Chain A
Amino acid sequence: MRRGPLGRALWTLYLALVMGFLLAPVLFVVFYSFNDATMFRLPVGALSLRWYRAFFDSDQFQPALRATLVIAAIVVPATLLVALPTAHLMARGKGQAWLGAALTAPVVVPGVVTGIAFLGLFGMLGVGDAMTRLTIGLSVFCLPFSLRALNASYAGLDRRPEEAARDLGATPLRAYWGVTLPQLKAGVLAGAIFAFVEATDNFSIAVFLADTRTRTLPIAAYEHVRDFDDPTVAAMATVLTLVALVFVLVLEKVIGLEKLIRHG
């Protein structure tokens, strides 16, 4: 890109403004979480870890954090276990495009509709346990995100090693396990990260499947913000942002962000 001094200045201004806009909420929340006062006031007073203690000691957030982690620990492997054979089917079978489209429905249909629909189905099936409902519902919801990452991996896959393994007498399962799956490592990692993020961040479906005893972090955060005006949620948001940053670093190191976009 060659440009004159005016063009350069305009570009710099634009990029600075957009970056400011993108980063403003996250940066301010991080700063706000270390603010000792309950209310935000200028000039800024003392800094403290008070709201982190409030978050980790809270009898609202602690069970929600535990429930969210348990749900994620089940949803991520469950999603991958469904996504791996399905992605294989979509890459190798013919005319499977409808399958991907059908499984993507929960992303296109408003979460509120999907949430009520799941709640009705679980009601009919007599699934009264909120944990079971959340785990199943969120696994189904997360599937298209993992699937997308795996489909991208299959698109760039070299099929010759698998064919060679088959020619040398490996069973299809052994060829898949020993040759194809290792080639899909990057897609599996990206798929797991997307599933984790969607499972822990979902609000509109989870709010229908949760109950007063089993709630996830987004629901607890929403209820806290509705009833109180203090930076406890800022502490939670900072922790989540830190997790997101770790994911970005892992994605960049293992796959490379540029590659992620090209296939994304």
Chain B
Amino acid sequence: MKRNLVALPAMVVLAVLAGAYGSFFATGLLRQVPGTASVAGPLSLDNYLRFLAGGGQVPVFLDTFGFAVLLTLITALIGYPLAYFIARTESRFLRVFFLAVLVATFLSGSVTRAYGWMVILGNRGLLNSLLLNAGLIEQPFRILYRQLGVGIALVHFLLPFFVLTVVGGIRNVPRALEEASRDLGCGPARTFMRVTLPLSLPAVAEGMALSLALALSAFLFPLMLGGGRVRLVANYIYDQIFVAFDIPFAAVVSAGFLVCSCAALLVMAGLQRLLLRRFATGGLT
């Protein structure tokens, strides 16, 4: 009885979630009343067949996944050394300072950051003004309203998530192992490549899975910085609803997209498990 009472709030939330997602995906079985935002029966799989036959969404899906994977790799490459530095620096001041910058960036919100990149990267923004003033370019260099601008802002958005995840993983690598490797004659670079890096790879996989999930569902950044020219799946779904008013097809695209991103995340999770087994530190920590 008492336990049920403790579980009650969570159950209410679960019911809301199940009701919301369930009813939304169920509308995929209905049909749009032409020219309106309402839906009607009879139940059919037409929307699913239309989706599987491949319509406008296939290039959008491919673009989104390719873009998200690329951004995840860039984030990992830029972020790993920072995570390593934060985990291993001897200066507490520097560690707290870098952590504070990351947490502040994370807490300052996505609208703030998307806007910040808009005014930096725009044709009359800071970067182009500086380059024009310095005489390095004649014409403003277009960064905004194409994938480059959206990508820069998204890497900036993903970086704190990745670094904050990986710092913990590197800190968990036992120092004794690194010292043993040094004592046995390995240089710092070799110790890093053969001990620290492999042992921190599970955390890297976790951070990359998180970045991938966030990059895949990006909506505000392509909307603000892409100016309608960079269209990812989330924007495509949004257009299905607010431009085409086709809620059933939007539901089917969402379902298909969820299946694809779950598959991608499962691959990442499998990779993480594989790495954990390969480089397990059990018994040493």
Contact = CB atoms under 8 A, between A and B. Distances in A.
Contacts of B6: 85, 88-89
Task: Describe A's contact surface by its main secondary structure.
Answer: helix
B23 A117 contact: yes
A16 B20 CA distance: 46
B81 interface: yes
Interface string B90-113: 100001101111111101111111
B129 A85 contact: no
Given A82-B9, A116-B247, A261 B16 contact: no
Contacts of A1: 88-90
A143 B126 contact: no
Given A120-B27, A222-B111, A241-B108, A40 B119 contact: yes
Contacts, number: 229
B13 A140 contact: yes
B129 A42 contact: yes
Contacts of B88: 1
Interface residues of B, number: 83
Contacts of B101: 19, 22-23
B156 A21 contact: yes
Contacts of B220: 203-204, 218, 222
Contact of B115 (A118, A140, A237): A237
A121 B19 contact: yes
B258 interface: yes
B14 A103 contact: yes
Nearest to A220: B111
A40 B100 contact: no
Nearest to A263: B168
B244 interface: no
A110 B108 CA distance: 21
A193 B19 CA distance: 28
Nearest to B19: A121
A29 B115 contact: yes
B24 interface: yes
A116 B168 contact: no
B271 interface: no
A26 B107 contact: no
Nearest to B217: A110
Contacts of A2: 188
A234 interface: yes
A136 B13 CA distance: 10
Task: Describe B's contact surface by its main secondary structure.
Answer: helix
Contacts of A140: 13, 16-17
B125 interface: yes
A151 interface: no
A233 B115 contact: yes
Interface stretch (A162-170, A179-187, A247-255): A247-255
Contacts of A23: 101, 105
Kindly name the residue among A82, A121, A172, A221 whose own CB sees the greatest number of chain B CB atoms within 10 A: A121
A262 B171 contact: yes
Contact of B168 (A39, A204, A245, A264): A264
B164 interface: yes
A204 B234 contact: yes
B115 A225 contact: yes
Contacts of B27: 120
B119 A3 contact: no
B211 to A, nearest CB: 13
A112 interface: yes
Contact of B111 (A22, A85, A109, A221): A221
Nearest to A88: B6
Given A21-B156, A143-B13, A204-B234, A244 B116 contact: no
Contact of A252 (B96, B233, B261): B96
A240 interface: yes
Contacts of B125: 40
B124 A203 contact: no
B107 A221 contact: no
Contacts of A260: 103
Contact of A24 (B95, B115, B116): B116
A157 interface: no
23 contacts: A15-B98, A21-B159, A22-B105, A26-B112, A28-B120, A42-B133, A81-B9, A82-B12, A88-B6, A99-B14, A106-B17, A110-B217, A112-B219, A112-B237, A124-B23, A140-B16, A172-B2, A193-B107, A225-B118, A234-B119, A257-B100, A258-B95, A261-B164
Give the 9 A-B residue pairs with the shortest CB-CB distance, closest first: A25-B116, A110-B217, A117-B24, A244-B107, A201-B109, A117-B20, A237-B112, A82-B9, A121-B20
Given A111-B219, A237-B116, A262-B171, 15 more contacts: A19-B98, A25-B113, A26-B112, A82-B13, A89-B6, A111-B234, A113-B254, A117-B20, A117-B21, A121-B16, A204-B234, A218-B220, A222-B111, A237-B115, A252-B96
